[in-house]
Amino acid sequence: MSDRSQLIFAGKPFLYDQERDAEFERLVKRYPTRESMILPALWLTQEQEGWIPAEAIAYIADRIGTFASQVYEAATFYTMYYLHPMGRNHICICRTLSCYLRGKQEIVDFLRDEIGIKPGEVSNDGKFSLEEVECLGHCGTAPVVQVNGEFHEDMDVEKLKSLLTGLK
């Protein structure tokens, strides 16, 4: 595990946009206590900003009516919340057994050589970020890569190359 305690301040106040504001109000009714909204509220933030700035954590705490420290706990506990800005296109590569055996390392090496990013890094132009993740549940069609949340199965270097050229 790594230390995720360093939050980054975006330097501007955080607010949900209209759509997510409405979504927050819709979701909050589903739970018996408002504290239950911490995780969905963090997701909404990540959807909107691509990552979770410190201001957003304080905002969520105030909006839910809990302590900033409690939202901070949840945000640092779960590694799928990004606490620093990611690339415009976020690539997740599965590193668990099946994908490992079926050549995920070749894809990782390709990205390192072609785009110049290693797992956990953001490319200099901010276009790509790469993350190695645990099992994505598509072992039958390994290796699997997730680009901006979408699954791409039976991945190899050639397929990835054509996939990435279409991205901004």
Partner 1 sequence: MAEMVKLFVNGQEVEVESGKNLIDAFEVIGIEIPHFCYHPALGSDGNCRMCLVGIEDGRPPLVPACKTPVSEGLKVQLDTEKIKKIQHDVMELELINHPIDCPVCDQAGECKLQDYYMSYDHQASRMRVPQVVKEKKMDLGCGVIHDQERCVLCARCVRFTRLITKTGELGIINRSDDARVALFPGRSLDNRYALNIVDLCPVGAMTSKDFRFKQRAWFLKRDKGICHGCSMGCNIFIDHNREKYKDDLIYRFRPRLNPEVNGYFICDEGRLGYHRENEGRLISARIGTEESSADQALQTARRRMEGADKLLILLSPNCSLEQMLAIQALAATTGATVSGFSDGSIKNGDADGYLIQDDKSANRAGLALLGVNTSPEFFESALQRTDTLVSFNNDLFITGPNQAWAKKLGEIQIIAISTHDTLFSRQAGIAIPTASYTEYAGSVINKDGILQTFGQAVCKNSAPLDMIRIAGLLGGTLTDPEALMQAMKRKIPAFAAIETDQIPEKGLKLSHNEAAHVTA
The gap between the terminal CA atoms of the chain, to the nearest Å, is 32
Query: Counting contacts by CB under 8 A, is residue 36 touching partner 1?
Result: no
For 122, which DSSP code? B
Is residue 70 close enough to count as binding partner 1 by CB under 8 A? yes
The distance from CA 26 to its chain's CA centroid, rounded to whole angstroms, is 23
Length of the chain, in residues: 168
Q: How far is the CB of 73 from partner 1 (least distance, A)?
A: 4
Phi, psi of 146 (to 5 degrees): -110, 120
Q: Which of 27, 28, 58, 122 binds partner 1 (CB under 8 A)?
A: 58
Alpha-carbon distance of 62 to 66, in angstroms, equals: 6
98 binds partner 1 (CB under 8 A): no
Q: Which of 46, 53, 44 is nearest to 21 (CA)?
A: 44
The answer to whether 7 contacts partner 1 (rule: CB under 8 A) is yes
How many Cβ atoms from other residues are within 10 Å of residue 133's Cβ?
18
Number of chain positions touching partner 1 (CB under 8 A): 20
Residue with Cβ nearer partner 1 (48 or 70): 70
10 binds partner 1 (CB under 8 A): no
Q: Using the rule CB under 8 A, which residue among 17, 19, 21, 73 binds partner 1?
A: 73
> Which residues are at the interface with partner 1 (CB under 8 A)?
1-7, 9, 54, 57-58, 66-70, 72-73, 76-77
